[in-house]
Amino acid sequence: MSEHIHLTPLDRISVTDAAAWHQVVAASMAHDLPGVPPPGPGQIHAQLTKPTLDSHRLTWLATGADRVPVGVAGLRLFTSPGRDHLAELELHVDPAHRRQGTGSRLLSAVVAACRTEDRRSLIVEAPADSPGEAFCERWMFRLALALDHLILRFDEVDGDKVRRLGDAEHPGYRLTGWTGTVPDDLAAAFAAAKNAMNDMPVGDLDYGSVDWDADRVRAMAQVIADRGDTLLTIAAVHDDGTMAGYTEILLPQGAPPRAQQYDTAVVPAHRGHGLGLWLKAAMVQRLRAEHLGVVEVETDNAEDNVHMLAVNRELGFRSYRRTREFQLDLPTA
């Protein structure tokens, strides 16, 4: 059946292309991830057309004989030192058009592009026990990391406990927060704290490392703003001026009710003082006070990240689904 599938590389994304992409992704997620809100049309258009940080994208649209969109693939090619060996795949096939070779055709195009771009590692995320997981196993991707997704629903949270945790005093530390780009006087300290994420558990993923500096944290915030999303940050600053930790929340464009947790990190020298729980509780307080349309927060943790899972569960997060990160190791010349 795959001979009836037509693959088109999308060099310039039109409004029609973005609408077709959204159609496929929404159908795929409704089937494989019921209860998980799919990205809206505006989010998809921004994802496909706005610049990314230290990377570029290749995209393909698969259509049937009647030119109906049946599958999509997006390949993010990282370009920064330490990650320029890496590519990240997003692949969806409309459930009504599966088992006709569409996914395999898309993956073949992706692998060929990875070889052209001299990539040795291709990573992809799939819901646990899903058709995507079976597809990865069939094509010899190896399981590299297991993730537990958790939800904090504000109508179920213990408000008194959150206030107690968020208002707790931590001698030697103070909280500060901002929206969007970090203030100039905190940029260098924030970049140094960002580098603490390089020791987060990544299982067997060949994920490389990221070297953060003040310019890079500003550029990241700009990328998020350009695609129409809002980034909220709360940080713990030590009396000596160093940033001890931070937590970030992403509010997707269109003000959907579910916010997404971005990074939470505590610098190694400041761990063991309860700062992670303090930061996250303060962020929940901020969301409930300033963003009344948000009713829940989703986060994910590696299943072996015992400490952060304990922090999230103490705050009231509950597990609700699992995903798997797979990696395909590609031969290099």
Q: Return the pLDDT at 128.
A: 96
Among 100, 119, 138, the domain-final residue is 119
Q: What is the amino acid identity at position 87?
A: A
- Per-residue pLDDT, 64: 92
What CATH number is given to the structural domain containing 114? 3.40.630.30
Are 192 and 271 part of one and the same domain?
yes
Round to whole Å and give the CA distance between 57 and 74: 7
Query: Are residues 176 and 312 part of one domain?
Result: yes
Alpha helices in 74-130 (DSSP H): 102-116
In a domain, 165, yes or no: yes
Residues 42, 154, single domain; the answer is no
Q: State whether 228 and 316 are in the same domain.
A: yes
Look at residue 332 and tell me if it is in a domain: no
> Does residue 294 share a domain with residue 158?
yes
Contact, 224 vs 46, CB < 8 A? no
Is 121 within 8 Å of 327 (Cβ atoms)? Answer: yes
Instruction: Kindly calculate the radius of gyration of the chain based on its CA atoms and give it in whole angstroms.
Output: 21
Last residue of a domain, one of 119, 139, 161: 119
**Whose structure tokens read 């009504």?**
96
pLDDT recorded at residue 255 = 83
Q: Which letter does DSSP use for residue 163 in this model?
A: H
Tell me which residue range forms the domain holding 304: 150-322
Give the pTM. 0.93
Any domain includes 132: no
Sign of the CA dihedral with 175 first, then 176, 180, and 183 last: negative
CA distances from 22 to 18, 67, 174, 229 (A): 6, 15, 43, 18
Which candidate, 304, 297, 308, places its Cα nearest to that of 265?
Answer: 308
Q: What is the pLDDT of residue 200?
A: 76
In angstroms, rounded to a whole number, what is the distance separating the alpha carbons of residues 17 and 60?
10
The answer as to whether 181 is a domain residue is yes
CB 33 within 8 A of CB 82: no
pLDDT for the residue 207: 85
Query: What is residue 51's DSSP assignment?
Result: -
Q: How many domains does the chain have?
A: 2
Residues 181 and 109 in one domain: no
Do 13 and 92 belong together in one domain?
yes
Q: Is there a single domain that holds both residue 183 and residue 295?
A: yes
> Is 145 part of any domain?
no
Please give the chain's pLDDT, 333 residues, in tens: 455 899 999 999 999 999 999 999 999 999 999 989 999 999 999 999 999 999 999 999 999 988 899 999 999 999 998 899 999 999 999 999 999 999 999 999 999 999 999 999 999 999 999 999 999 999 999 999 999 999 999 999 999 999 999 999 999 999 999 999 999 999 999 999 999 877 777 888 888 888 999 999 999 999 999 999 999 999 999 999 999 999 999 999 988 899 999 999 999 999 999 999 999 999 999 999 999 999 999 999 999 999 999 999 999 999 999 999 999 999 876
Kindly state whether residue 175 falls inside one of the protein's structural domains. Answer: yes
Calpha distance 321→312 (Å, rounded): 15
* Strand-pair partners of 175: 236
CB 144 within 8 A of CB 203: yes
pLDDT of residue 66: 85
Residues 105 and 165 in one domain: no
Considering only the C-alpha atoms of the chain, give the largest distance between any 2 of them, rounded to a whole number of Å: 67
Quick one: 60 and 175 in the same domain?
A: no
CA distance 166 to 283: 8
> Does residue 329 belong to any structural domain of this protein?
no
Q: Is residue 100 one of the residues assigned to a domain?
A: yes
Quick one: 67 and 186 in the same domain? no
Q: How long a stretch of residues is the chain?
A: 333
Q: Give the burial class of 35: count Cβ atoms within 10 A of its Cβ; 0-12 exposed, 13-18 middle, 19 or more buried.
A: exposed
Residues 179 and 42 in one domain: no
